Amino acid sequence: MFVRHYLGGVTADVRKIIHIDMDAFFASVEQRDDPALRGKPVAVGHGAARGVVAAASYEARAFGVRSAMPSISALRRYPDLVFVAPRFDVYRAVSKQIHAIFSDYTDLIQPLSLDEAYLDVTTNRRGIVTAWETAKDIRARIFAETGLTASAGISYNKFLAKLASDHRKPNGQFAVTPEMGAAWVETLPVARFHGIGPVTAAKMKRLGIETGLDLRDKPLSFLRLHFGSAAEWYHAIARGKDDRPVDPARVRKSSGSETTFARDLMDCAEIESGVLGQADEVWAWCEKAEAFGRTVTVKVKYADFAQVTRSRSDSVPINNRARLHELSLRLIRSVLPTPKGIRLVGVTVANFAAPDTASAHLPLFWQPME
């Protein structure tokens, strides 16, 4: 098989990257530990009016239930949805088991969250020749030792490996070789690309960009005009390129999202809606990565390209979306009403808490605002 032959290291200067992603991790742990939940639509979270789904089993996803969805919306989609309170101490313990397995294969492990990580297995400790067989071996060990399934993406860079891990979910794996990488990206909707959230995907659609091919066909000057500093990244991934290393020491210092409006805005409600959209994209990453910061910054760029930022820090990590919404709105309202059109808004969360500190404030459900 060509995929196995290639990813076996025939070409020495090409990296072998695996992205491992646990399948419906929180919900699968609950179904594993309680046989009565197996085969049922399960949501990890709280079913109260202000609750949010932290994770959904595949049975629940069949009804359109998704993580980060308000619980009340999830119950509208499936009234018999079973809610289970999250047990983060258990999830962290299982995650440690899984990461111990990873360390048997390579030192180059970059965790993204409790349930996913990049592994660079260009050189692997167990002497398995191919990345394909290495991924199979890792997935088999995860199942044998935890009773849980994982999916894997295998490629020559991190961007493609992460895309590939979604391609055969659940409990499967898929490889993207250099021969197929650029052409494969062209066929995919940009909404699937890591780093392009719903707001950015919607903006791209307005600009006629719906697939990787559409994105590749836009010149860099066009992307810079509409997406600013993200233009070079979009230009590269549309061609299947990503030179980022798998960095075990990498500690992300912030998470941010910004959007340039299709037209300059003056209306306060429209501007606030744009800010909330960016806050939602940031919150989705924070929730997935279990990284909760204390500082929120809202960025505003006016029609004349003048730029201002407003920041606020909380005494404890911002651990729910409602609080992030509240702070983001408070900051944007400090510059409203606007004397001139606004072309861009952005939201960033920074000053992340140490994991042990954050875990004390970890519930992934909405709480009443102060």
| Binding-site residues for Mg(2+) | 21, 115
Active site residue 116: yes
Backbone angles phi, psi at 303, to 5 degrees: -60, -30
**Element at 264 (helix H, strand E):** strand 254-265
Pairing of strands 42-45, 53-56: antiparallel
Cα separation, 358 vs 287, in Å, equals 12
Tell the burial category of 224 from Cβ atoms under 10 Å away from its Cβ (0-12, 13-18, 19+).
middle
CA dihedral sign, ordered 200, 202, 208, 214? positive
Structure tokens at 333: 């309202």
State the pairing for strand pair 254-265/42-45: unpaired
User: Which residues line the annotated binding site?
Assistant: 21, 115
Rounded Cα distance, 359 and 43, in Å: 20
Q: Could you say which of 30, 59, 116, 272 is catalytic?
A: 116
- Rg (the chain; Cα; Å): 21
Alpha carbon of 180 to those of 6, 10, 139, 227: distances in Å? Answer: 12, 16, 24, 27
DSSP string, 44-91: EE--STT-BEEEE-HHHHTTT--TT-BHHHHHHH-TTPEEE---HHHH
**Calculated CA dihedral for residues 88, 93, 99, 104, nearest 10 degrees:** -170
Order of strands across the sheet with 307-313?
Answer: 254-265, 342-352, 293-302, 307-313
Name the residues annotated as catalytic.
116
